[in-house]
Structure 1
Amino acid sequence: MPKKNKVKFNICNVHYALLTLGADGAVSFGTPVAMPGAVSLSLDPNGEPSNFYADGYAYYTVSNNMGYEGDLELAMVPESFRTDVLKEALDENKVLLENANAETENFALLFEFDGDVRKIRHVLYNCSAARPTIESQTNEDEIEVQTETLSLTAAPLASGYVKAKTGDATTEEVYQNWYKSVYLPEAAAGGSGTDTEPGGTENDGTEGEG
């Protein structure tokens, strides 16, 4: 039997991958892109079960999993994320421009927690991000690093899938390829006629960071 983690600590290896929905509803993702400088991640469940009462008691409980909401704190939001997801545009002088008419992109968020035996790798499939707050402060006796925080919403896909994470007995192939393509079971991909990698995402012949 594989050894099991007893504890987890330290978020690291954060990546994002752009989400694409085909005309037939098929789900695919771009190659994961690294987001260095992760400081913290805090996501709370969104949606609570509700009860239907009959005959004087809770006759039926309705599941209401609406995903997660929370914050991802980074040393700095990478320029690639600002252009790919927040849709800030680089002009001819390589200046980032924010336009109120631009629509942000949805994406998968990949990350891992260290464990005492093995890193636990996660993916949230259908994320959206709000613009980070602009803030800083003057230096005093010591320089205090100012971080940037993204407010995230992770909603279910049409298939109902919200997230996935590696387990104690996840195959080595899936584990090692976690950041090369977004792991997605066939039931969540939808559509037909798409070539897929072991993870279930469209294979465009490229690889991300390991």
Structure 2
Amino acid sequence: MADKNNKVKYNLKNAHYALITIAEDGTFSFVTPVAMPGSVSISLDANGEPENFYADGIAYYVINNNMGYEGDLELAMIPESFRTDVLKEELDSKGVLIENSEVELASFALLFEFDGDQKHIRHIMYNCSASRPGIEGKTNEDSKEVQTETLTIKATPLSNGMVKAKTGDTTDATVYGNWYKAVYIPAAATDTATTEGEG
């Protein structure tokens, strides 16, 4: 019988974002994920390390300090929808994007996947923020070189502690197939979360 489990992963693709609303009581809801075409690379490092509590001359207790992840998402070009939805740039009546220092950036879930030798591995980071991208470019020389754009992403835990999720070897086929249709919420967390359509 052939092994159906992935042995390797490669090729980032299918990045999506889904705006999140967090109420004062900690409940949260997501809108329908929106595609972010042109994924180039993602590099997220774990943020926070276990800390030892010492007593009786030994490491008496290890404190879990999972503060999420932080790193970069590189895209061919940041979609205009992400600029208006998340970075809160305003599209004026002439179709010009205006950046305003007075606005507060939005939080979002980040979804993406890697190819595998058997099937794609799909991920979600539940509570992300993005810093404004820099402006970078250079003139053409002997050959044209594509200039990518990079978002610095910070993924932090939700009020119920959830940080991320990913599909595995035995993920339910319906859950796997609907990964980009609605943000996946584990059954144990559904009482603090709802999924909304785009409004």
- Smaller-chain TM-score bracket: over 0.9
Distance 2:188 2:99 in 1: 37
Identity between Structure 1 and Structure 2 (%): 66
Unaligned residue ranges in structure 2 (runs of 5+): none
Q: TM-score by structure 1 length?
A: 0.90
Rounded to whole Å, the distance in 2 between the matches of 1:177 and 1:91 is: 35
- 1:202 corresponds to which of 178, 188, 195: 195
Residue 194 of structure 1 is matched in structure 2 by none
Distance in 2 between residues matched to 1:73 and 1:3, nearest whole Å: 31
TM-score, normalised relative to structure 2: 0.94
Residues 203 and 136 from structure 1, CA distance in 2 versus in 1: closer, same or farther, beyond 3 angstroms? closer
Aligned length: 197
Q: What's the C-alpha RMSD, in Å, of the aligned pairs?
A: 1.6
Amino acid at match of 1:167: G
- Partner of 2:195, secondary structure, is coil
The correspondence of residues 34-49 of structure 1 with structure 2, limited to 5 A, is 34-49=35-50
1:202 maps to a residue whose letter is: T
Residue 28 of structure 1 aligns with an amino acid whose one-letter code is S
- Taking the aligned partners of 1:22 and 1:52, their CA distance within structure 2 comes to 34
Contact 2:33/2:183, CA 8 A, preserved across alignment: yes
Asked if structure 2 preserves the Cα contact closer than 8 Å seen for 1:123 and 1:165, the reply is yes
- Runs (4+) of structure 1 exceeding 6 A deviation are none
Distance 1:98 1:47 in 2: 32
State the structure with bigger RCO (CA 8 A, min sep 6), 1 or 2.
2
Residue 90 of structure 1: how far off its partner (Å): 0.5
Deviations 1:141-164 (A, max 9, x none): 011110000000000000000000
Q: Deviations over 1:25-44 (max 9, x none)?
A: 32110100000000000000
User: In 1, are the aligned partners of 2:51 and 2:62 still within 8 Å (CA)?
Assistant: yes
Structure-1 separation of matches of 2:172 and 2:148: 36
Deviation at 1:202, TM superposition (A): 2.4
Aligned 1:47-196 pairs, distance under 5 A: 47-191=48-192
Deviation at 1:5, TM superposition (A): 0.1
1:2-24 CA-partner distances (Å, limit 9, x unpaired): 71000000100000000012344
Give the C-alpha shift of residue 189 in structure 1.
4.2
